[in-house]
Amino acid sequence: MIAAKPLTVPHEGRQDFPAVLSAVALRKTYGSVVALDEANIDIRRREILAIVGDNGAGKSTLIRLLSGLEQPDSGVIYRNGSRVEFSGVSEANDAGVVSMFQNAEACSQMDIADNIYMGHELMRGPFVDKKKMLRETETLLNHLGSKLTANRLVRGLSEGERQTLGFARALFLDPEVLLLDEPTSSLSVIQTSEVLNQLLSLRDSGKSVIMVSHSLPDVFAVSDRICVMRHGRVRAMLETRETTYERVIGYMAGAPLEMGL
């Protein structure tokens, strides 16, 4: 699998930062299914936090709650230490919290540039400056290692290309906290590497990234900490440098905890 650039930035001082986003005792049920059961999590400034866990562990549910897409049954979310209740994704966006999947739901009749700039169109006098939007979109796509052209209609895009568009759109919103649910699942080897490098750059510029992933090589390549979820709970919170594949897989499978949260 992918080996992204090695971690380049020393992490000293990272612990001194307060959590930029945290959740305390988040619970979410769907009918009789308890998707999230008193989950606690925090993400610090300047870190990539990977979330791993078996299918159905509650990872996507957690991301949906943190991103404002859905609301918890109970529990509290804090942004920079203040309690927040995101009633929708745009409220979360306004607070600097952007998730990728919501943006991946693109308008298929529109081209890539229009999708990226939706709601933030560049104007030249009274007119939309389409040329500039196309140019800037192309730059952003190149930056992501994508060969897509900005005027391609979304309708014809492959799953991987849509994923790239979603990522580009999320970056365009300039998030303080970026929430990604399987951001590379449909990407090629090369593009996966580009996306992972983008995450490292974001982290190095002081941003925070939560990345749900089934790819342990990707997780170990870029994350600072690993949150292991199981049966709707945060099972372990591990420093990536201090743990191993075997331990992570063990916690995913329900091995007893050796370390506290």
Ligand X SMILES: Nc1ncnc2c1ncn2[C@@H]1O[C@H](COP(=O)(O)OP(=O)(O)OP(=O)(O)O)[C@@H](O)[C@H]1O
Q: Considering only residues 3-42, where is the footprint of ligand X by CB under 6 A? A: 30, 33, 35
| C-alpha–C-alpha distance, residues 31 and 58, integer Å | 15
Cβ–Cβ under 8 Å, residues 247 and 220: no
CB-hemisphere CA count at 13 Å for 200? 19
Shortest Cβ 171–ligand X spacing (Å) = 23
Q: Which residues are within 8 A (CB) of 130 and not within 5 positions of it... i.e. 6 or more apart?
A: 113
Q: What residue has token string 């594949």?
A: 245
Q: Which is nearer to ligand X, 32 or 82 (CB)?
A: 32
State the Cα angle at 138 between 132 and 140, rounded to 5°.
Answer: 105
Backbone angles phi, psi at 15, to 5 degrees: -65, -20
Shortest Cβ 32–ligand X spacing (Å): 9
Q: How far is the CB of 133 from ligand X (least distance, A)?
A: 34
Of 44 and 64, nearer to Mg ion (C-beta) is: 64
Cβ nearer to ligand X, comparing 30 with 245: 30
What is the smallest separation between the CB atom of 55 and Mg ion, expressed in angstroms? 8
Binding at 33: pick from Mg ion, ligand X, none (beta carbon under 5-8 Å per type): ligand X
Considering the complex, what minimum distance in angstroms separates the CB of residue 132 from Mg ion? 37
Query: Which residue number, 60 or 80, has a Cβ lying nearer to Mg ion?
Result: 60
Chain positions 55 to 84 lying near ligand X, rule: CB under 6 A, are 55-61
185 lines the binding site for Mg ion (CB under 5 A): no
In SS3 terms, 137-180 reads as HHHHHHHCCCCCCCCCEHHHCCHHHHHHHHHHHHHHCCCCEEEE
Q: Which residues have C-beta within 8 Å of that of residue 91, sequence separation ≥ 6?
A: 68
Site size toward ligand X (CB under 6 A) is: 11
236 binds ligand X (CB under 6 A): no
Do 258 and 243 touch, CB atoms closer than 8 A? no
- The nearer residue to ligand X, 140 or 227, going by C-beta atoms, is 227
Question: What tokens appear for 127 in the block?
Answer: 């007119």
User: Rounded to the nearest whole angstrom, what is the least distance from the CB of residue 39 to ligand X in the complex?
Assistant: 10
Closest by alpha carbon to 229, among 79, 85, 93, 65? 65
Q: How far is the CB of 60 from Mg ion (least distance, A)?
A: 3
Stretch that binds Mg ion, among 55-63, 144-152, 201-209, 225-233 (CB under 5 A): 55-63
Residue 102 or 137: the one with the smaller Cβ distance to ligand X is: 102
Helix/strand/coil for 14: helix
Quick one: 25 or 128, whose CB is closer to ligand X? Answer: 25
Examine residue 60 and tell whether it contacts Mg ion (CB under 5 A). Answer: yes
Residues in touch with Mg ion (CB under 5 A) = 60
Residues in touch with ligand X (CB under 6 A) = 30, 33, 35, 53, 55-61
